Amino acid sequence: MGIRKYKPTSPGRRHGTVLDYSEITRTKPEKSLLRPIKKTGGRNNTGRITVRHRGGGNKRMYRMIDFKRNKDGIPAKVFSIEYDPNRSVFIALLHYADGHKAYILCPLGLTVGQVVMSGTGAEPLPGNAMKLKDIPVGVTIHNVEMIPGKGAQIVRSAGCGAQLQAREGKYAVVLLPSGELRRVHVECRATIGRLGNTDHQNVKLGKAGRKRHRGRRPHVRGTAMNPVDHPMGGGEGRTAGGRHPCSPSAVLAKGGRTRRKNHPNDAFIIRRRKKR
């Protein structure tokens, strides 16, 4: 996968780059695995804006991804590798031997025609899924469950990979991409390998329009507003705000801890990603 840079035919093209999508083998998605997405524009059920700077964007259909990988012992052939507008990583369409079709997150090195499996009998090869108790220590994994049987919740972005470092009784020690070291139950499933599309982080949008295509509206600084619109607004001339950064409702925006004390997951964290 590489980065394509266009000739500077316009100011936006001068600094923008795109992926070359050389890994993509099919442009039309599997129709039976599509679902509609309802846009909210950042509004809740009462119509109030609860998340700012959302709205517009290209219309999308959701691809049903198999995060559970619980079809044990049934081989599946990779039919195609496709683009997914809802996530940073590419997805792979699997055709199981029993006729079932499913999408999975595409790991690095997975190719069309390759056979993948899940369950106890699977080998530790990219794309195969199994429980943490069956994965050799030191192997890179992704698509990791946090609760057995619930489906993968962590390590799902492009280029990400966690490392299985040890097993201690009922729990495995996993090093996450953020640097956090945490315990995960050995009955939880994970997929072998690192996720693909590693160049995703190197793409430069180049212009505001490409951000609008993703459904992101303009972000206006609080200091540029009037006092009626923002706590940091107003003042003669340019100001630094006169107070700590905050939201329009005066909630502190930087440095304040938002995680509640005695969180249920705190007991599983061995080392945090940030020093307290």
| pLDDT (0 to 100) of residue 275 | 74
| pLDDT (0 to 100) of residue 68 | 96
The whole-number average pLDDT for the span 3-14 is 93
Q: How many CB atoms lie within 10 A of CB 269?
A: 14
- Name the band, by pLDDT with cuts 50, 70 and 90, for residue 1: low
Q: How far is CA 6 from CA 23, 50, 202, in A?
A: 20, 38, 15
- How far apart are alpha carbons 135 and 141 in whole angstroms? 9
- For residue range 133-157, what is the model confidence (pLDDT) as tens digits? 999 999 999 999 999 999 999 999 9
What are the chain's domains?
A: 3-200 (2.40.50.140)
Structural contact between residues 38 and 45, judged by C-beta atoms closer than 8 angstroms: no
| pLDDT (0 to 100) of residue 276 | 63
**Read out DSSP for 174-221?**
EE-TTS-EEEEETTSEEEES-BS-GGGGG----SHHHHHHTTB-----
| pLDDT (0 to 100) of residue 262 | 85
Q: How far is CA 139 from CA 6, 146, 192, in A?
A: 38, 18, 7
Identify any residues that bridge with 162 across adjacent strands, giving them in sequence order.
141
What single-letter amino acid sits at 37? I
Structural contact between residues 252 and 243, judged by C-beta atoms closer than 8 angstroms: no
Q: Across all residues in the chain, what is the average pLDDT?
A: 94
Identify any residues that bridge with 174 across adjacent strands, giving them in sequence order.
164, 182
Which of 87-96, 206-215, 238-247 has the weakest average pLDDT? Answer: 238-247
- For residue range 27-42, what is the model confidence (pLDDT) as tens digits? 999 999 999 999 999 9
Structural contact between residues 81 and 92, judged by C-beta atoms closer than 8 angstroms: yes
- For residue range 180-230, what is the model confidence (pLDDT) as tens digits? 999 999 999 999 999 999 999 999 999 999 999 999 999 999 999 999 999
Beta-carbon contacts of residue 235 (< 8 Å; ≥ 6 apart) = 223, 242
- Name the band, by pLDDT with cuts 50, 70 and 90, for residue 255: confident
Structural contact between residues 216 and 210, judged by C-beta atoms closer than 8 angstroms: no
Which of 111-125, 171-185, 253-267 has the weakest average pLDDT? Answer: 253-267
- How far apart are alpha carbons 276 and 191 in whole angstroms? 32
Give Rg (Cα) of the chain.
22
Residue 51 has pLDDT above 70, yes or no: yes
Structural contact between residues 20 and 4, judged by C-beta atoms closer than 8 angstroms: yes
- How far apart are alpha carbons 276 and 271 in whole angstroms? 11
Identify any residues that bridge with 254 across adjacent strands, giving them in sequence order.
none
